[in-house]
Amino acid sequence: MPGAPGRELFNRFCAPSRTLHAMEGKIKEEIKSALRAGSNALLKAPTGWGKTRLLLEVAVELAREGTRVAFLAPTLTLLVRKWPELLSLGPPPAILTAGAQQHCVYRWRYPQRFCARCRLRRDAEAQLPEHVTYADIAELTPEDVCSYYVQESAMQRYSIVLAHYGRAQKVARLADYLLVDEAHEYFLPAITSWRLQEIAEMLGVETGELSDVVAIKELVEEKTNSPDVPPNVEDALYALWLDLRKTCWVEEGALHCMDLRALPSGRPVLAATATPPPGWPPEGQGWRVVDVRPDVRPPAYVEEELAFRYPDYTDCPRGVKREEVRGTVYGLFLCPSIYGYTLTIIKRLREHHGAQRVAVFATSSPRRLLQPLSEEVEGVTIFDAWGRMRVGVDLPEYDAAVVLWPSLHVTARRRLRAEGRDPALVELLQGVQLAGRVLRPRQGETYAEALRRRVVVFADARFRRFAEYLAQHFEIRPASRLLQ
């Protein structure tokens, strides 16, 4: 990208929220100036500060200058939530787009495979309003016409195009600027999961035959080549086959398939996130950074010695005996099980911080070992660290978050290393994102109040390696202070 060399930190706003919002106009002008000069820009601001709102305002102001803007978010759900906020700004012509699956009357996962069999016309246009969503287009399109093709032909007539990451390449070529919300998601693996039971039913086999990825691939290929496969099964098989071309592994009764994404390029990019990965954006690539740092940081306890590793192994301090009994209170002379350690943390959070509702994030076997906590201890919920919590799920009703190290499967870690990425940085980034789920303000609560009242525990010594990075987002305290 053209622009001044080096990583330019041209503004740092460290002020109370009232002052911050008064300075938003200046922040926007600095960002727009960078984009007009052809440089990429990063808006780094804490969770709940209003990054998405600012991106929408920048999109509207750039579009009013006669340019085209693509606004990208990780999921369609997030875009639907933000659409009313965009409309409240009185934008130039804007369209919220969706993939073919949302338009297809058959709801195929990959409709294009069946287009030749579909009798709906694909060469017609519809009269669309100035502000329109994919759902509006489906209603306005004549009944003998495919609404997806109406949407695709209409996009070029709109100044602002909203799309999820999966459509990034499609909309980027129409835009002068790319605005990317939740940009950290481009550095996290995109993981899709299939229950083995679902695959077995699709293939007509027993789950015991789905022992590994190779076996699943062979069975899928055999089924795909068999005659008279029903269209619904053919569609699901094709979706599964595409996933099997990614990096896959079998674990916990499911097939998991992982892919990596790259941040769009070719146009000036404005990326926004609360948690850019350590070392990003890189030096010497002309990125300009707006770093918004609040005057209040939530407290976070970081474990200093214990690491709970896959599948159920605890790194204990040398000379300390391992605790074998589930639920034993953490003490000075016992190295606890993951259950006993987490239970003790929850007790201390209630004693010292009055945290009645606690969200615990774990993955794989640690999550399975901790699951009884949600049944035995009132107000505790165990969440999958790589499940539906990935994007767009806020938990303001919880008072505290306990984050176990979100370990990826060895196959996923190997793929990351093959791409030149440090798996530990990916896991760290996911851990910080999970902690942020509880930091959203409740109704009637200010952002600063939410930060003061919530508390986070990073319950694994591997987080300590990144204490300097964590200190940018939290008021760091040793976990020993909580466990005394």
Q: Does a structural domain hold residue 474?
A: yes
Residues 244 and 223 in one domain: yes
Q: Does a structural domain hold residue 56?
A: yes
Q: Give residue 237's domain range.
A: 190-259
Residues 150 and 100 in one domain: yes
Q: Does a structural domain hold residue 359?
A: yes
pLDDT in tens, 159-187: 999 999 999 999 999 999 999 999 999 99
Report whether pLDDT(327) > 80: no
Q: Does a structural domain hold residue 173?
A: yes
Residues 52 and 114 in one domain: yes
CATH assignment of the domain containing 22 = 3.40.50.300
Residues 451 and 407 in one domain: yes
Q: Does a structural domain hold residue 2?
A: no
Confidence band of 323 (pLDDT split at 50, 70, 90): very low
Which stretch of 28-32, 143-147, 364-368 has the lowest confidence by average pLDDT? 364-368
pLDDT of residue 381: 95
Name the percent of the chain lying above pLDDT 70: 89
Count of domains observed in the chain: 3
Residues 91 and 207 in one domain: no
Q: Does a structural domain hold residue 155?
A: yes
Residues 120 and 218 in one domain: no
Residues 18 and 90 in one domain: yes
pLDDT in tens, 127-138: 899 999 999 999
Q: Does a structural domain hold residue 3?
A: no
Of 239, 271, 292, the residue that ends a domain is 292
| Per-chain mean pLDDT for the chain | 86
pLDDT in tens, 377-423: 999 999 999 877 666 678 999 999 999 999 898 899 999 999 999 99
Confidence band of 15 (pLDDT split at 50, 70, 90): very low
Residues 314 and 237 in one domain: no
Residues 156 and 17 in one domain: yes
Residues 403 and 420 in one domain: yes
Residues 387 and 288 in one domain: no
Query: What is the sign, positive or negative, of the torsion defined by CA atoms of 209, 214, 217, 221?
Result: negative
pLDDT of residue 24: 79
Dihedral angle computed from the Cα positions of residues 30, 36, 42 and 46, in that order, rounded to the nearest 10 degrees = 50
Output 333 or 452, whichever has higher pLDDT: 452
pLDDT in tens, 194-248: 999 999 999 999 999 998 999 999 999 999 888 888 888 989 999 999 999 999 9
Report whether pLDDT(34) > 90: yes
Residues 255 and 269 in one domain: no
pLDDT of residue 48: 75
Mean per-residue pLDDT for 240-257?
94
CATH assignment of the domain containing 415 = 3.40.50
pLDDT of residue 441: 86
pLDDT of residue 400: 96
pLDDT in tens, 78-128: 999 999 999 999 999 999 999 988 998 888 888 877 787 888 887 777 789
Q: Does a structural domain hold residue 1?
A: no
Confidence band of 9 (pLDDT split at 50, 70, 90): very low
Q: pTM for this structure? A: 0.86
